[in-house]
Amino acid sequence: MATHHRYAGEVMILTVALHKPKGPQEEANFLTALKDFGDLQRKFKGHQLYSVGKDEKTGILTVVSIWATMEDLNTAQTEMSKHKQAFDFKTNQIGPTRYWQGNAEFAEFGLK
């Protein structure tokens, strides 16, 4: 019996950001800010997914967002930019944020 992903065959906008906190307190600061950022994203039309993960070996935080359309992401950008500007990246992070944005086609997959 196959299981099917609800977005199979759709093209959506995928964003990925990588952050390297300076230490445990800075990581805690990031996680609080990222939770708030996710809550903000969920208020906008077209938001599909927001997830934060941590590579335990490197300490890098990976933030993934999926949006239904570029228009939906662009509509949310003004409010999201305000939130980002309020966070002190220089104090909390080693180096710059690594960021990628692009189209992602969700393929049909399942268990056979």
What does pTM read for this prediction? 0.82
Give which of 4, 37, 25, 26 is closest to 111, Cα–Cα: 4
* Per-residue pLDDT at 8: 55
* Per-residue pLDDT at 111: 39
Q: Judge: domain 12-105, CATH 3.40.50.620.
A: no
pLDDT, one tens digit for every residue, the chain (112 residues): 344 445 556 778 999 999 999 999 999 999 999 999 999 999 999 999 999 999 999 999 999 999 999 999 999 999 999 999 999 999 999 999 999 998 887 665 543 3
- Please state, in angstroms and rounded to a whole number, the distance separating the CA atoms of residues 52 and 16: 10
* Per-residue pLDDT at 9: 61
